[in-house]
Structure 1
Amino acid sequence: MIRVVLVDDQALFRAGIRMLIDSQADLDVVGEASDGAQALAIVRETRPDVVLMDIRMPVMDGLTATAELLQDADPPRIVMLTTFDLDEAAARAIRQGASGFLLKDADPEFLLAAIRTVHAGSAVIAASATRDLFAQVSDAASRPVPDSYGQLTDREREIFALAARGLSNAEIAGREFLSEATVKTHISRILTKLALRDRVQLVVFAFDHGLA
């Protein structure tokens, strides 16, 4: 069972999302909050797997709450909710360690798939939007490629480049004539060598250092 906490200042929006999530056998809403301060208390009490976090809220915004939660020893996966496709606040949250962002008007099936995907830690949410966002806000010219990138093998660099473009494991496997299990192993090794949490962070790393 994937445990979810909803954080949004609009009660009607939360009610609709809760109804959708609770209709799924493998998902369960274990808490709700209307601002970031409430979110800190509820998340630390209920220990969810995934948090859907609105960016703009009263009392404490989603960016501040996300930054605090990600300092915890075992933080949940956090997905930022935004009304804007290319939202620089979402970019800042992802740099802090959020696992991605989701538009509030996303299709219900996409939202459900996004929760499961983030929980699995295996893909980037809204990969094309994420790439476009970081292409706009990246300051790659001022950031040298870190030494850790030099630890990657030639094959790992090929996989890194494809993952940075938003390709899934299956798409990379088909292009590189590898099994999906092998691609997954390569991705895991790349994340470890670069000290990255997930594939969203891989996309950020690629744009920050001019590798995308």
Structure 2
Amino acid sequence: MDEVRVLVVDDQEPFRRAMVTVVEATDGFVVVGTAASGEESLAAVGEVRPQLVLMDVHLPGIDGVEATRRLTHDGGGPVVVLLSTYDEDEFDLDGSGAAAYIAKAAFGPDRLLEVWERHADEVA
């Protein structure tokens, strides 16, 4: 199996580093880029061609929800997972285009694998 190409998007360096660490510690996944804003994420997707984007909800400029809508609008793009500090039952995915939402406190290799296994077939 080829490694799953992941883009990590978070405006806070500590969270970005933590997500990169989780991805790198998960067999079969590789970080191909990072971004600190919604605008950077849109440009990075075109450059690094990730299969999976881990996207913070709260970003400067275009927030993570709007960036996700833009990335998934036409279909055939990467699978996008939204992350934030909110509990999972406090976030509504409807209309966001995201495949899943994971609270940052619950994010780890097991959740990464679980989400990918459910949504890998959505990547063009």
| Higher Rg | 1
**Runs (5+) with no aligned partner, structure 1:** 122-196, 198-212
Matches within 5 A, 1:106-121: 106=106, 108-121=108-121
Q: Distance in 2 between matches of 1:24 and 1:84?
A: 24
1:44 counterpart residue number: 46
State the alpha-carbon separation in 2 of the partners of residues 83 and 10 from structure 1.
12
Q: Greater RCO between the two (CA within 8 Å, min separation 6)?
A: 2
Q: Structure 1 residue 27 and structure 2 residue 29: aligned?
A: yes
Considering only aligned residues, what root-mean-square deviation do their CA atoms show, in Å? 2.0
Report deviation, 1:100. 1.0
Do the aligned partners of residues 48 and 115 (structure 1) sit closer, same or farther apart at CA in structure 2, a change above 3 Å counting?
A: farther
Runs ≥4 residues deviating over 6 A: none
Pairwise CA distance, 1:62: 0.5
- C-alpha separation between the residues in 2 aligned to 1:71 and 1:61? 15
| 1: CA distance, partners of 2:76 / 2:97 | 13
Aligned match of 2:78: 76
Q: Partner of 1:13 in structure 2?
A: 15
Q: Between the two proteins, what is the percent identity of the paired residues?
A: 35
- Letter of the structure 2 residue corresponding to residue 2 of structure 1: V
The structure that is strand-richer by fraction is 2
For residues 1-212 of structure 1, the aligned pairs below 5 Å read 1-85=3-87, 86-87=89-90, 90-91=91-92, 93-106=93-106, 108-121=108-121
TM-score by length of 1: 0.51
Amino acid at match of 1:104: K
